[in-house]
Structure 1
Amino acid sequence: MVRGQSGRPRSFDRAEALERAMRLFWERGYEATSIAALTREMGIAAPSLYAAFGDKMTLFREVVDFYVSVYGAYMGRALEEEPTVGTGMARMLHEAASELTADGRPRGCLVAFAANNCSPSCVEVEQVLRQQRGAMQEEFERRIRKARESGELPSGVEPKELARYVAVVFQGMSQQARDGASQAELEAVAATAMLAWPKAPGAEE
């Protein structure tokens, strides 16, 4: 339940506050991020946090949406702007190599790591992040299926399996980034992964 205040606080920038909260959740994970740490980092008092964002879980949900729409936007752009699903996936993975290792922010992907070391009481956190990962994989599958139906990919391609392959590569790159892999090393992984991409019907071997 949102704690009572006479009105929603307006003395801070909501997007900036979400950015600051996001970085804490991204770096520490959900459970290790306390309300005290959040208020200190966001520059607001606890009553203002509750009034503006609700409880910690509600704030976390908004942070995840913010992260996906801002820091994950490159994925959708790559798939939308490239002429084929294959070139879109290749671009997405290469851009991921840069995004996952960018300076000035935690490495890896928040959606992959924010539930690390959570206790069994954090089931809802796991569900939120699993839903996000599932939605990403379903979008890959939808685009691959469409490409198969249009003849861009061979009729024998199984969209669900190929989508899972891309998701596994991305999640592995995210873990490698967290463990210290460089952008160049992850770009090499992306290039190697795309060697397994099905060739278009009629393409030379």
Structure 2
Amino acid sequence: MARTKEFDPDAALRRALDLFWERGYEATSMADLVERLGIARASIYGTFGGKHELYLKALERYLRTTDPGVAERLSQPGPALPAVRALIERYAEESAGDRERRGCMVVNAAVELAPRDAEAARLVEASWSFLEAALTVALTRARNQGELAPGKDPRALARLVLVILQGMRVLGRAPADPGRVRDAARAAQALFD
């Protein structure tokens, strides 16, 4: 007869996500996970697999909770450019105001694991492709509605905005001048004028 779990796996996954987000993959040990999750090492292995599998599940959870909201905000009816501008502003403010210097879990995964971990790279690419597609759709709508000049390429602009947004997240990780990120956001928004 199988034993019932004596802990909430979803709550444990949220705590693991927070720990990996704070420290990164390499700096988080199994002992750290046992302590933060408040469950035995055997329960971690039995429920999630090893540290690597737990990290990937935490990253997937992050993507499930953050990516859909972006597409929803960009696909609201009416003018599209205000939503794109608001997204850029939100990224800038979150990056400039990140007192804990956690950054974005996707950017952190891209820098720390993606170069040598195919599964982490796949998740990072999926997130970036999702954001690029949502921006492309919004910018295409903006062009079709006359908000964006007819000669502007929505896909190329979406890719540029994606790179700028991710760059803001990188700068948010370091103790840097927050004005740098805010100035970049204003310049990015001017692309649509």
The question of a shared fold, defined as TM-score above 0.5 by the shorter chain, is answered with: yes
Structure 1 runs, 4 residues or longer, greater than 6 Å off: none
Name the SS of the counterpart of 1:155 in structure 2. coil
Q: Deviations over 1:120-173 (max 9, x none)?
A: 652322222122112211221122223333444333221221011110110111
**Which ranges in structure 2 are unaligned for 5 or more consecutive residues?**
none
Could you tell me how far apart the structure 1 residues matched to 2:119 and 2:128 are? 14
163, 172, 179: which one aligns with 1:168: 163
Equivalent residue, structure 1, for 2:187: 192
Are 1:8 and 1:51, in contact at CA under 8 Å, matched by a contact in 2? no
Who is 1:9 aligned against?
5
Query: Structure 1: which 5+ residue stretches go unaligned?
Result: 200-205
Partner residue of 1:40 out of 35, 38, 45: 35
User: 1:195 offset after TM fit, Å?
Assistant: 0.9
Partners of 1:108 and 1:178 within 8 A in 2? yes
**Structure 2 length as normaliser, TM-score?**
0.80
| 2:123 is equivalent to residue 128 of structure 1 | yes
Question: What is the identity percentage for the equivalent residue pairs of Structure 1 and Structure 2?
Answer: 30
**What is the CA RMSD across the aligned residues, in angstroms?**
2.9
SS in 2 for 1:114: helix
Q: Which structure is higher in helix share?
A: 2
* Residue of structure 1 aligned with 2:53, choices 53, 58, 71: 58
Q: Judging changes above 3 Å, is the alpha-carbon distance between structure 1 residues 50 and 103 closer, same or farther for their aligned structure 2 residues?
A: same
Alignment of 1:109-128 (within 5 A): 109-118=104-113, 121-128=116-123
Q: Which residue of structure 2 aligns with residue 79 of structure 1?
A: 74
Q: Give the TM-score normalised by the residue count of structure 1.
A: 0.76
SS in 2 for 1:169: helix
Residue identity matched to 1:133? W
- One-letter amino acid matched to 1:143: A
